[in-house]
Amino acid sequence: MRKLISVMLALVLTVLTPGAYAQAGYTVAGFDPEDTGRDWTTNLFFQRMEERTGVQLELTQYQAKEAWQTAKDDMLAGDLALPDALLKAELTPQETQTWLEQGKLIDLAPYLPQYAPNLWALLQAHPDWLEAVTLPGGQIAALPSIDELQFNNAMWINKAWLDKAKLAMPTTAEELENVLRVFQEKDMNGNGKQDEIPLTFASMWDLRYLGHAFGLCANDYYVTMDDQGRVSEVLTSDANRALLTWLNRLWTDGLLDELGFTGLRQVSLNREEDAPVIYGVLMAPSPVELVSSKALMQYVLLEPMVYQGKQVYRDLTGDVIRGAFAITSACKDPGALLAWVDTLYTEEGFILAEAGMEGEEYTWNEDGTWLWEATAETLTAVVLPEATIRSGGTMPGYASVDFQQRIDDQATQHVVKSLLQLKAIDRLPVPQVYLTAEQQSRMDALIWDIGKYAEQQMVWFVTGDVQLTDESWADFCGQVKALGMDELVSIWQTACDEQK
């Protein structure tokens, strides 16, 4: 059972308090990929944070994920000196536990109420967030990135085509299939060609998101938890067979993108402004990268289908991304670094990381929206890499939904509004729990074999390369079980029970 965080641990604060040890600067290392074009040593965000907090940082940025992982491994082994803190740390839950157990990280739980009051208030107001970042022993060894607007894989439907065909928004799998057939049969884009693709997707992973139309809501381990706390797998369920049978019918009838399983969908897209619109339904986090800006506003969120009177949909990541910031045992003054990072859990700090400084990188309009000062070209090439920090590696902090909604950009506002609409429905299939190193290692071994087999077999069921019969379905279920699915479920169940 998860232990409660003891308030008595706060007594250590009388020993380690900000300023108790003189320090000219704090060493900080972390990951920010090369493609951001960012250099931490010259980035204005860090300069502005020093002016606001008085905390000086000596920064080491790793621009390759492999190099950062090697550095973390070397730090853990003692072959590389520990910095005072890890920023954009990309610590896995297992790394967080291991580093803490080996004395490389400081338990921040007793310090948060005093030195990170903004983060602490957020965690107190959202017990599920607190649960997500708290280790089984009650420690908090790494701080999160919190965003109630995390991007999710969604369905986007061409509302202009719906209106042209005088069709209502589909609400069930059957209604969606009927809409797709109309999109296929009619010249929806009016170019005199039958080039419409009713539904486009990029992989079986995309298509599994359509499982919600049959009541399925599972994570990438194919497991889900019910309201009574029981974990189960969905691969061998009747609902999954029904989904695959339906998808096979859509594929056979040409309602699914024939390039969907090839990995070439992006190559096939024509985003020129005058290109004909060819997609009816998109499976993607946003339509922005799939259609021209001219056609973008044609696409609206298609809400999850109704199954047996309910709507379910998978929340991809939840509000919390763990392992974004940690303070190591090398730091003699953790309170000062906590106070520094706590700034990022305020709207002011988030805006500084996201958009820079008012009057320099962005300005407010009279209607309460904000806009970038730079052109789109300058924004990408100069402003984002030189004055902001939030993109790239996972940044600690709390992302203001209000600020994200108020950007003076129609396309962004459209996507944000739609994702908030989806957010009201989706949920995590299984709570964010901490697995032990042994549990995670075993899970990784199991899912490698199960996933490799199941994904390929499901693709064959969809395309008809393997006919979905009682016999082939029994073989599929038997093989999934033989590969250890029941053991995988048991590991999840144990972890969830232990951390209630």
What are the tens digits of pLDDT across the range 71-126?
A: 999 999 999 999 999 999 999 999 999 999 999 999 999 999 999 999 999 999 99
pLDDT at 288 over 90: no
pLDDT at 60 over 90: yes
- Domain 7-148+319-413 and domain 154-311, same fold? Reply is yes
Q: Residue 379 is which amino acid?
A: L
Rounded average pLDDT over 124-137: 95
Rounded average pLDDT over 300-319: 95
Residue 199 bridge partners (DSSP): 256, 281
User: Hunting for tokens 């969905």 — which residue is that?
Assistant: 234
pLDDT at 266: 55
pLDDT at 273: 72
pLDDT at 268: 52
Report helix, strand or coil for 324.
strand
What beta strand segments (E) does 250-337 contain? Answer: 279-284, 299-301, 306-307, 310-311, 320-327
Domain boundaries, the chain: 7-148+319-413, 154-311, 437-498
Q: Residue 262 is which amino acid?
A: T
pLDDT at 289 over 90: no
Rounded average pLDDT over 202-214: 96
Cα–Cα distance, 400 to 147 (Å, whole number): 7
- Looking at 233-389, list the stretches that DSSP marks H as alpha helix, in order from N- to C-terminal side: 238-252, 265-268, 293-296, 334-342, 347-355, 376-378, 384-387
Query: For strand 306-307 and strand 310-311, is the pairing parallel, antiparallel, or unpaired?
Result: antiparallel
Cα–Cα distance, 136 to 1 (Å, whole number): 7
Per 3-state DSSP, the chain is made up of helix, strand and coil in percentages (nearest 5) of: 45, 15, 40
Cα–Cα distance, 276 to 499 (Å, whole number): 53
pLDDT at 283: 94
Q: Which CATH number fits domain 7-148+319-413: 3.90.110.10, 3.30.1050.10, 3.40.190.10, 1.10.287.3510?
A: 3.40.190.10
Q: Which pair of tokens denotes residue 340?
A: 């520094």
pLDDT per residue over 224-256, tens digit each? 999 999 999 999 999 999 999 999 999 999 999
Report helix, strand or coil for 486.
helix
pLDDT at 15: 32
pLDDT per residue over 399-445, tens digit each? 999 999 999 998 889 999 999 999 999 999 999 999 988 999 999 99
Q: Domain 154-311, what architecture?
A: 3-Layer(aba) Sandwich (3.40)
User: Hunting for tokens 């009650």 — which residue is that?
Assistant: 138
Cα–Cα distance, 218 to 148 (Å, whole number): 20
Q: Which pair of tokens denotes residue 400?
A: 């203001």
